Amino acid sequence: MILLVTGGAGFIGGKIARLAAARGFEVRVLDSLRDDVHRVEPAAIDGVELVRGDIRDPGTLDRALRHVDAVCHQAAKVGLGVALSDAPDYASTNVTGTAELVAAMGRSGAGRLVLASSMVVYGEGAYRDAAGRRRRPAARETRDLDAGRFEPRDPETGEALEPDLIDEDDGLDPRNVYALTKLAQEHLAATWARATGGTAAMLRYHNVYGPGMPRDTPYAGVAALFRSAIERGEAPRVFEDGRQRRDFVHVTDVAGANLAAIDWLPAQASGTVRPFNIGSGTVTTVGEVAEGLARVMRGPTPIVTGEYRLGDVRHITASPGRARAELGWRAAVSLEDGLREFAIDR
């Protein structure tokens, strides 16, 4: 098995490359080593070939895909992409890059693809109303956010909604530039599978954290931002009221999900494309993560600011039941253990 990991020098891609090499795969990494992501040169991975180049370059892709059986596509510009000025770079990196990748896979004959997608394709999470009916609320209005009214309301009655777990068959409603590009990647993967008879697993990651997470960059996740603040002796600043529900999943578990998907693909029918939620299955609030890091790092108590970011959703947690049933995968690292390890990562 020859595996290509795009973005394989990055946070998640590097973990996948190491795990696959330890499993006995022949691993090749394609990474552009963008300065805004890689502030320092990443360490080489024993036994793993690095092809340095841009995923948008057909020649680089043809070289990287030589004799490859399967591709783990992790290369992407991440973050919210709230400003419209971000849109060209997100579209070029994520959409054009994926289009070039699947075109090159068509030329090379590589027939298996695992795509790093994201929970953001769902938009706001799933809810139930007072009668137990499933609801998907509209985007929150600025006037409500300014007034500290953060919870979505039933669009018909105005009553509070109860957050629920979303699953892969729920509708998709991307609400920022990054989310739009992740959905475009899914559509490109599906188009490639139909055209070539390949098979694809689309892994919709939830909030991934763990050692090696980007820090002090525009792409640092909320856990990394909290940790950096505590290291500076500052109280982590928690937006809204801190009760936003998320699912924090450790990067080691996410790497394992990718390997499980690679194992799953050969048994699938030609043209199969299947999305999977990749999360711990445990609902955690953003405030709880800030408090947990402050506790293990013996740092200042978090400050709940009431601030907000347009484009953020209130609650998004999903059922990982399909990944458990079909991939045989489940998260193993508890949040308590993961935060303790994350807190001491330098």
What residues act catalytically?
A: 178
Residue found by looking up tokens 């699912």 in the block:
247
Cα end-to-end span (Å), the chain: 34
Rg (CA), the chain: 20
User: How crowded is the C-beta side of 156, counted as CA atoms within 13 Å?
Assistant: 8
Inter-residue contact 58 to 34 (CB < 8 Å): no
Three-state SS across 17-78?
Answer: HHHHHHCCCEEEEEECCCCCCCCCCCCCCCCCEEEECCCCCHHHHHHHCCCCCEEEECCCCC
Inter-residue contact 215 to 228 (CB < 8 Å): yes
Q: Comparing C-alpha atoms, which of 119, 109, 16 is closest to residue 68?
A: 109
Task: Name the DSSP class of 198.
Answer: -
Three-state SS across 117-170?
Answer: EEHHHHCCCEEECCCCCEECCCCCCHHHHHCCCCCCECCCCCCECEEECECCCC
